[in-house]
Structure 1
Amino acid sequence: MSETEGRPSDPREPVVRLFRDLRTRPTGLSSREAARRLVVYGPNQLVRKARGNWAKELGRQFTHPLALLLWAAAGLAMAAHTAPLTIAIILVIVLNALLAFAQEQQAEHAVETLARYLPAKAKVVRDGGLQVIDAGGLVPGDVLVVEEGDRVSADARMLDGAAEIDLSTLTGESLTAYRSAAFDDRAGPLLQARDLLFSGTTCTGGQARALVFATGMHTELGRIAALSQRVGRDESPLELQVKRVAWLIAIVAVTAGAAVLPVAALVARLPLADAFKFAVGLLVANVPEGLLPTITLALAVGVRALARGGAVVKRLSAVETLGSTTVICTDKTGTLTLNRMRVTDIWTSAGPIRNTGGKWAGLSSSPPLRAVAGVAARCNNAALEPAETGDPTEIALLRMSVSLGESGHNGERRRQFHFDPSLRMMSTVDTVDGTPWVHAKGAPEEVLKRTTMMMTADGATRPIGERDRAEIAEVVDGYASQGLRLLAVARRPLDAGVPLPARREHAEAELTFLGVVAMLDPPRPEVPDAVARCHTAGIRLIVVTGDHGLTAAMIAKRVGIARDRTQVVTGSELDAMTDDELDALLRKGNELIFSRSSPEAKLRIADALRAEGHVVAMTGDGVNDAPALRSADIGVAMGVSGTDVAREAATMVLTDDNFATIVDAVQAGRRVYDNVRKFICYIFAHATPEVIPFLVFALSGGRVPLPLTVLQLLAIDLGTETLPALALGREPAEPGLMNRPPRRRSEGVIQGAMLARAWGLLGGVSAVLVLGAFFGTLLLGGWHPGAATGPGSALHHTWQQATTMTFLGIVVCQIGTAFAARTQSASLRAIGVTSNRLLLWGIAFEIAFAAVVVLVPPFRAVFGTAPPEPAQFVLLLPFPLVVWGADEVWRWRRRRARTRSRNSRPDG
């Protein structure tokens, strides 16, 4: 049997042909045939796309540009026969590679979560009898038995029976759908076919037999899984920037080594061993060994902080992406609002009544009002006891019915036509006091299309006229303009003894209009402030919701999203737009509201925004939101109301479903990115005082001894520098963080001004101070250019003291650099000297570490240090103040120039 043999071209074809195509019969397959088909079709499982080989991924960490530089340094050290230095550099490479590899192994598990929807067991008819088998053993051609409480294990065509099916795993719709073998839907989307069952859904009532036509990745659930995997994940802006930084460092280091090594060997006439030693020192000085681990840990700190604030971020680099967000596409219900529906108003032909503090103000005992309460209770799947369960809208309707004296679900449910997003209606067929009734609720405009009669104030019915329709439309617009969610209710009796309508278009026809129910879902109190922060931060807000346009617009206005020029685009209008028209609409830059939108619309909007260069955060909660969540730069899933699939497909999960949490996450992302730039500036600032001593040594032709040994340099880069750099990753937000526009996606983490500040100002001042301490120590010890300082010479101890002064000078200059790097423009006084206690502890550690290197004999022997005189220690004390003071003056001048520029503008 070929792989496609026995597969139906259309599962909605006549059952007889379906049996023929699948080569099966109503009594099911034999066990032997099922085993053979299992080999052909494979297990009934969702298959995850194969991941890369872990060994290959780990190997890639050893070939990163920074790692390659260190390998080159290790090779030069080995050629120079300096084994301790070689081992030290290799250890640095291994530690960095392992840490980076561990970060990248934080994989996403969306498909594994989808697989949880498949039950462990399934009931099938095999060998002429009912058997319980592993769900993974289902094959096309099996006859599946589905009963109340079962999860459907494969896509199947119903053969007999009827059942209520929870399709929320596929459609996101909480209302159950009625499926029956009596239906025969040949047209329309496959998911809406009323005689088909789909893998991953749940039977909430009834019993049926169905013919399996698709398993595993060929099911609708598998299609969604495949789509989620096909939507790739782009590298975050920071990931791209770090790669650029690494290549920049590599180019600088290689260029410096290639240019200076011949000078050291040929012009300065250094011995080959000394030339190699010089090259190793230059490479090591140019490679910030702690850069990648520091960035990783700073992002991890951001992840932990967000989790405490209600946002669980699943990928470290996503923290930085949040900081560059330019557009937030948010749903309304539950994100901007509390998702706590409450009926506030009811309108019937007897007049309006209002719910004020739990009491109805108005005529609350008229026949139309009692009819509204009855329909709201029966056309309903929620429950109030023993605990409130169900959709918040239906719970609110049930509460309203009880408060008006309706006892609840009285009557026998005979049939249900589930809520159809395209029709925006739901209806049930119930027997009440022996009479079958159709009870319907839905969007007012849709219910009105299907009504021919209207109940009067005295309980009689009469034909509905154009004046009635105009009055109802006016009432609807009035409620919607107040931000209320609206439903119309209607009903009609059926003739006893006549077969119940099998199709909803037959049931939902010639209805009698009863009234309009208006509900309020209050905005979250913290959302207006969060929206205001978005506006000051230059972040655009777009509402994408399934609600009525006027309702969504009013809620958006209440929380501050909607402005005078905010445009409302309905789902039908969006569907009619070409891609160019959608691009033109989004390019205007105004806030927008997309009402009556589908999950597919979310994906289209996200793709269009990203094509325009925006960094997009998109909210979602349903299974079919998964592709849009993965396509967005930041997919945001609801932790309370969202499905497992949405939570796994998203980059960030809100544990409180709160829009304000998204804005807090954006602020945290900006802070993390700023802090990354701060410690990059801090690390780069030390390259100048570390490189210049080697240049002095080389360019002097050996007449000036080496001011800093390579092992002392590693002690700085790996010992004294790391903890303060990590502490800068915990720096609190700088004033005005959310008062500036988002940075461009193309903006580099390293800019010319940063390099000038790091290498020129901070590094230059540090280099002058350090070399001053080095030469001062040598000269006071009786050294003159060209004098011997090697082992056994009279000046060897003096030279060791001088290199120790260079080492300590760089360490104390790091302290001044750390305080200077804490802000990019504000003064240190604006943020407080002691506001980052971790930095103070980091500085204490580097002082203690430097003391150990200089004062403890075993470490002195390894690093070649010698304790300077007390007066020389005192000379180092003002170094941090000089470095910080120079940078403080530079930042003050920048602030003053910026203020003058603003004041000189015509609109300033």
Structure 2
Amino acid sequence: TGTITEGQMTVKRVWIGGIHYHVTGEGYEPEGSIMLGDKAVRSGDNPELLRLCEVSALDNNATIVPPLDRRKTRWTAIGDPTEAALLVLAAKSGVSYKDEIKRQPRVGMIPFESSRKMMTSVHQRPDGEIIAYVKGAGTEVLSRSANAFWGGKTVPMSPEIEEQTRQQIDDFAREAYRVLAIAFRSLPGKQEKYEPQTIEKDLTFVGLVAILDPPRAETPEAVHKARTAGIRIVMLTGDHELTAESIARKVGMITSKNYRVTTGYQLDKMPDDELSRLLDMTELVFARVTPAQKLRIVKLFRAKGETVAVTGDGVNDAPALLEADIGIAMGLSGTDVARESADMILLDDNFASIVNGVEVGRSVFDNLKKFVVYVFTHNWAELLAFIVFVLLQTPLPIAVVGVLAIDLIMEIAPSLALMLEPPEPGIMELPPRSKKVRLFSLSALSRSAYVGFLVGAYALFWCFDAWSKGGWSLGSNAVPDHTTYLIGLTVVVVGIMAGQLGMLFATRTNVHSALRLGLRRNKWIPRAIVIEIALLLVIIYVPYVQTAFMTASIPPYYFAALYAIAPVVLAVEETRKLVLRKVYLPARAPVRYAPAPPLSMHPGPEATGQGPFVERSPPVILPLPIAHVDINAVQISSAVCRHLGSRLIVLRLFEEDTEEWEIKKAEVQVEKTTGAYDLPVSYVDVRRSGSTPISQSLLTTLDGLVAEEAPELVVVPVDHDVLVGRKRALRRARWMERFSTSRIVLIDSSPRTGERPIAPKPRILIPILSEFPVGPFKLTEALTSNQIFPDVDVIAAKVVEMPRVVPLYSIYKPESLISRDQEFSVFKALGGGPLLRYIHPMVLLVRERSRDVLKFARDKEADLMIFQGDWELKRSGYLPKEERKIASRSPCINLVTLFPREEVRAQDNETTS
């Protein structure tokens, strides 16, 4: 993220002992205060603040330098910008690095590593105590802390303090702050070598520091230009995932609901085929990634045929910079190793400069192609003169010295002027060109050929006209009068130069109309034309020059006649470009990738305010892998529980080597979502033991729970491959068949659906493609029961009677329905699948089922698509063929309801009656 932010780190917030402090001042100037409310505080006023600032100053290798040069007005940082920001914080509190390092000399050091995400400095205090000062990523330091420096004293790290701290880390991260945790540990004595395994554990947590590095003002526009130009931007950063997402939203990398934020921890557990599918998403952010993970992502992108550019500044970025097609190193903040590994060095560390470079590069390539077309045009005209000389046995219409005069004298200035043409309008709205595109292509050859032959034929016509006035006729290989012969040679030269004048204006653009461009846009074009015409007049009318170039003075009317070809050439080229724009390159509607507003991570009280929870129904069971907590599954399960009055039973699935902090983190994520619904939640642990597959352990546990609790619903997150019917995935999910007598909801937990919760009021789409789906409507009722007007759309693909048992059918949004008298407004957006005729109120008929449903889902940005599954189709993903086709390409989250066969048959009978 160094290229999209200003690179001016400033500590803005401090959180100690549950208390917020605000920090004033900007940049690296040690001017400002630490404020508690309206009161400025110093380190001596608070032992917790003192300890935090001591760690900030001493666990540090940076230096801040005052503006010694008159040309500089700001303090600057030498070393890591984050550490420089901590030095400034310490200085604002009254802690001096120079004084503290004398009072507490350093006796050991454990440098920062991306795998640990922390750094430790060991010091000896004046009383002889050996103490390790630690700073690092918030969650990493917190997970290694056994105590907390809370209220001026050391207390055990309780679950309440840990949960409060994790919540604060997330809150800071959502506001685009980089969050560092500060901790320390007293050591028994000096050691010969300080190892992270023995030092960085049993820490005492002190507090959090929130550092702001705002995006550059020009970055959002640069991101928009890049995306419009067909360039995908993927963020790879070591920052917290919420910080990365917040920055991505601000600069326009995230503009829709179809995005994914993935952490390095999740990447480690993701196989290459799954990651390769994930890389197909347009909006991607990878947070807390290591250099090895960056390299892996770059390799997979290149394996997919993508052209990859990577920016980096550190030593660890060198492998990814070398692997990329274009490695871009930071010139200001980059290390020597990164710069040596890169193909390009960014002198100002600004992402906008990369985009501007792309525009300039496209312009240069375009201008070279224009140059080739322009130069080859007169070559074809000259070639035609020689062809006529050979085939028709005429006198040679153009002298060799005349060819040299055109190529080496008169055409130099226009060719150079054309090379200086500014970028063509709309050049950054075109997709990137393929690697296979060559500078000189068949299209350039044909374009120059047909214009060149046209100009050559026109020039030869007037040449023959001049010769015929001197007694020459076709079939004769000599002109009786030598002066008349020279006039013919001169006419051909002037005719070719006239055609080149028209081609000069025409080749200023490849696609857009050149008539829209003014001469002031390229000041060199008028100058080149003046130079060209002046040289032409010198060659024609200066006596000694006439002899050298075999020319003769010609009457003025020849100029008028010959230069009439210039507007003809321009008109022919403009017609060609018009056809190209209208037929082959139809205009696209301008797309604006507006930065997405911040999204709430969890539904607020307004989304779930339904009064106190009252248990009325059997529980809902949710099997949930700890390695990847599917928040969407938790939220959908919570909404269903709230509607039914069911408590939620979460089956926590984890491996033998899963650490306690991972389990705790997953539990916090679940309770943040269920807490908004005021639900009682209980946990049942399902752990892999030995060689027994975890699916077998899950089956045994679920068997007992179903028999004991008779659950209302079992919500099962499944891989996307299950829903599209891939055999290997279906074999892994075969255990579900044992529960075909229970109500089951399958949720697509594939990475393509994103890992952030759906909106509190989701937009739901129910496709009716073969028969009336009872399950999707019942699930929709549960998900929308707290909404007065549910945002639900129904698409039917055959004649279907809408039965009265449909929940909430009377209060669906009017645009979601069809009436006998009014046109169904939403379906105007569907292409290729017109409404054939009205069948019945609230029912419509479409032609292209899968295409229309998918287009509708994309255009309306649906959050959920709910299908009815069938246990009979267990060998093909539980879905019919057409529904399976839609699910495989769905842009939203897929849900499949699998109800007991007897219940489905009973509902069908009720519908029929």
Give the TM-score band, short-chain normalised: 0.5 to 0.7
- Please tell me whether the aligned partners of residues 381 and 390 of structure 1 are also in contact (alpha carbons under 8 angstroms): yes
Which whole-Å CA distance do the structure 2 matches of 1:506 and 1:468 have between them? 24
User: For 1:774, what is the secondary structure of its paired residue?
Assistant: helix
AA matched with 2:146: T
Partner of 1:506: 198
Aligned counterpart in structure 2 of residue 372 of structure 1, from 27, 48, 52: 52
Q: How does 1:246-325 map to 2 (within 5 A)?
A: none
- Please tell me whether the aligned partners of residues 453 and 461 of structure 1 are also in contact (alpha carbons under 8 angstroms): yes
Which fold has the larger relative contact order, with Cα–Cα distance below 8 Å and residues 6 or more apart in sequence?
A: 1
Partner of 1:726: 416
Q: Percent identity?
A: 40
Residues 16-38 of structure 1: per-residue CA shift (max 9 Å, x gap):
xxxxxxxxxxxxxxxxxxxxxxx
Partner of 1:480: 173
Give how far 1:582 is off. 3.3
Aligned residue pairs total 567
Aligned counterpart in structure 2 of residue 464 of structure 1, from 157, 173, 178: 157
Give how far 1:452 is off. 1.5
Aligned counterpart in structure 2 of residue 781 of structure 1, from 470, 483, 505: 470
- Please tell me whether the aligned partners of residues 789 and 796 of structure 1 are also in contact (alpha carbons under 8 angstroms): no
CA RMSD of aligned residues (A): 2.7
Which whole-Å CA distance do the structure 1 matches of 2:47 and 2:139 have between them? 23
Comparing 545-554 and 520-529, the one that deviates more: 545-554
Change in CA separation of 1:876 and 1:659 when aligned onto 2, cut-off 3 Å = same
Change in CA separation of 1:414 and 1:540 when aligned onto 2, cut-off 3 Å = same
Which whole-Å CA distance do the structure 1 matches of 2:545 and 2:347 have between them? 50
- Please tell me whether the aligned partners of residues 343 and 519 of structure 1 are also in contact (alpha carbons under 8 angstroms): yes
Residues 476-535 of structure 1: per-residue CA shift (max 9 Å, x gap):
111112111111111133346x65774333222322111111111111111011011112
> Does residue 244 of structure 2 align to residue 555 of structure 1?
no
Partner of 2:139: 445
Aligned counterpart in structure 1 of residue 122 of structure 2, from 413, 426, 429: 429
Give how far 1:848 is off. 2.9
User: For 1:646, what is the secondary structure of its paired residue?
Assistant: helix
- Please tell me whether the aligned partners of residues 501 and 507 of structure 1 are also in contact (alpha carbons under 8 angstroms): no
Give how far 1:383 is off. 3.0
Aligned counterpart in structure 2 of residue 642 of structure 1, from 317, 334, 338: 334
> Does residue 62 of structure 2 align to residue 382 of structure 1?
yes
User: For 2:162, what is the secondary structure of its paired residue?
Assistant: helix
Residues 372-406 of structure 1: per-residue CA shift (max 9 Å, x gap):
11221221222346674332111111111222232
AA matched with 1:727: A
Give how far 1:660 is off. 0.5
Which whole-Å CA distance do the structure 1 matches of 2:64 and 2:489 have between them? 79
> Does residue 96 of structure 2 align to residue 403 of structure 1?
no
Which whole-Å CA distance do the structure 1 matches of 2:440 and 2:830 have between them? 32
AA matched with 1:512: T
> Does residue 300 of structure 2 align to residue 614 of structure 1?
no
Partner of 1:226: none
Residues 708-755 of structure 1: per-residue CA shift (max 9 Å, x gap):
123322322222223312221111122212122222333444555544
User: For 1:438, what is the secondary structure of its paired residue?
Assistant: strand
User: For 1:686, what is the secondary structure of its paired residue?
Assistant: helix
- Please tell me whether the aligned partners of residues 495 and 563 of structure 2 are also in contact (alpha carbons under 8 angstroms): no
Give how far 1:356 is off. 4.5
Which whole-Å CA distance do the structure 2 matches of 1:583 and 1:537 have between them? 23
- Please tell me whether the aligned partners of residues 619 and 637 of structure 1 are also in contact (alpha carbons under 8 angstroms): yes
Change in CA separation of 1:905 and 1:872 when aligned onto 2, cut-off 3 Å = farther
Give how far 1:656 is off. 0.7
Give how far 1:857 is off. 4.3
User: For 1:733, what is the secondary structure of its paired residue?
Assistant: coil
- Please tell me whether the aligned partners of residues 179 and 208 of structure 2 are also in contact (alpha carbons under 8 angstroms): yes
Q: How does 1:104-123 map to 2 (within 5 A)?
A: none
Partner of 2:81: 392
User: For 2:233, what is the secondary structure of its paired residue?
Assistant: strand
Residues 523-576 of structure 1: per-residue CA shift (max 9 Å, x gap):
111101101111221210011222222211211111111243322233343344
AA matched with 1:891: K
> Does residue 28 of structure 2 align to residue 336 of structure 1?
no
Which whole-Å CA distance do the structure 2 matches of 1:384 and 1:758 have between them? 61
Which whole-Å CA distance do the structure 1 matches of 2:194 and 2:558 have between them? 97
- Please tell me whether the aligned partners of residues 678 and 821 of structure 1 are also in contact (alpha carbons under 8 angstroms): yes
Partner of 2:566: 880
Change in CA separation of 1:808 and 1:627 when aligned onto 2, cut-off 3 Å = farther
User: For 2:132, what is the secondary structure of its paired residue?
Assistant: strand
Change in CA separation of 1:383 and 1:837 when aligned onto 2, cut-off 3 Å = closer
AA matched with 1:471: Q
User: For 1:540, what is the secondary structure of its paired residue?
Assistant: coil
Which whole-Å CA distance do the structure 2 matches of 1:631 and 1:902 have between them? 35
Give how far 1:826 is off. 2.4
Which whole-Å CA distance do the structure 1 matches of 2:477 and 2:139 have between them? 98
Which whole-Å CA distance do the structure 2 matches of 1:578 and 1:906 have between them? 37
Aligned counterpart in structure 1 of residue 36 of structure 2, from 344, 351, 362: 362
- Please tell me whether the aligned partners of residues 613 and 745 of structure 1 are also in contact (alpha carbons under 8 angstroms): no
Give how far 1:812 is off. 1.8
Partner of 1:811: 497
Which whole-Å CA distance do the structure 2 matches of 1:466 and 1:788 have between them? 105
- Please tell me whether the aligned partners of residues 463 and 489 of structure 2 are also in contact (alpha carbons under 8 angstroms): yes
Aligned counterpart in structure 1 of residue 16 of structure 2, from 348, 353, 363: 348
- Please tell me whether the aligned partners of residues 734 and 831 of structure 1 are also in contact (alpha carbons under 8 angstroms): no
Runs of 4+ in 1 over 6 A off after TM superposition: 898-908
Change in CA separation of 1:408 and 1:900 when aligned onto 2, cut-off 3 Å = closer
Q: How does 1:205-220 map to 2 (within 5 A)?
A: none
- Please tell me whether the aligned partners of residues 350 and 368 of structure 1 are also in contact (alpha carbons under 8 angstroms): no
AA matched with 1:650: A
Change in CA separation of 1:840 and 1:603 when aligned onto 2, cut-off 3 Å = farther
Give how far 1:902 is off. 7.2
Residues 340-377 of structure 1: per-residue CA shift (max 9 Å, x gap):
11111111225122224544342743322222112212
User: For 1:815, what is the secondary structure of its paired residue?
Assistant: helix
Give how far 1:785 is off. 2.6
AA matched with 1:737: I
AA matched with 1:526: E
> Does residue 431 of structure 2 align to residue 741 of structure 1?
yes
Which whole-Å CA distance do the structure 1 matches of 2:22 and 2:346 have between them? 35
- Please tell me whether the aligned partners of residues 546 and 598 of structure 1 are also in contact (alpha carbons under 8 angstroms): yes
Change in CA separation of 1:842 and 1:600 when aligned onto 2, cut-off 3 Å = farther
- Please tell me whether the aligned partners of residues 607 and 631 of structure 1 are also in contact (alpha carbons under 8 angstroms): yes
Which whole-Å CA distance do the structure 1 matches of 2:197 and 2:278 have between them? 36
Aligned counterpart in structure 2 of residue 599 of structure 1, from 276, 291, 300: 291
Change in CA separation of 1:859 and 1:827 when aligned onto 2, cut-off 3 Å = same
Gaps of 5+ in 2: 26-31, 67-74, 590-827, 833-913
- Please tell me whether the aligned partners of residues 110 and 194 of structure 2 are also in contact (alpha carbons under 8 angstroms): no
Comparing 814-823 and 573-582, the one that deviates more: 573-582
Residues 140-196 of structure 1: per-residue CA shift (max 9 Å, x gap):
xxxxxxxxxxxxxxxxxxxxxxxxxxxxxxxxxxxxxxxxxxxxxxxxxxxxxxxxx
Q: How does 1:142-221 map to 2 (within 5 A)?
A: none
AA matched with 2:132: V
- Please tell me whether the aligned partners of residues 581 and 587 of structure 2 are also in contact (alpha carbons under 8 angstroms): no
- Please tell me whether the aligned partners of residues 372 and 444 of structure 2 are also in contact (alpha carbons under 8 angstroms): no
User: For 2:407, what is the secondary structure of its paired residue?
Assistant: helix
Gaps of 5+ in 1: 1-331
Partner of 1:209: none
Which whole-Å CA distance do the structure 2 matches of 1:748 and 1:696 have between them? 32
Which whole-Å CA distance do the structure 1 matches of 2:441 and 2:305 have between them? 20
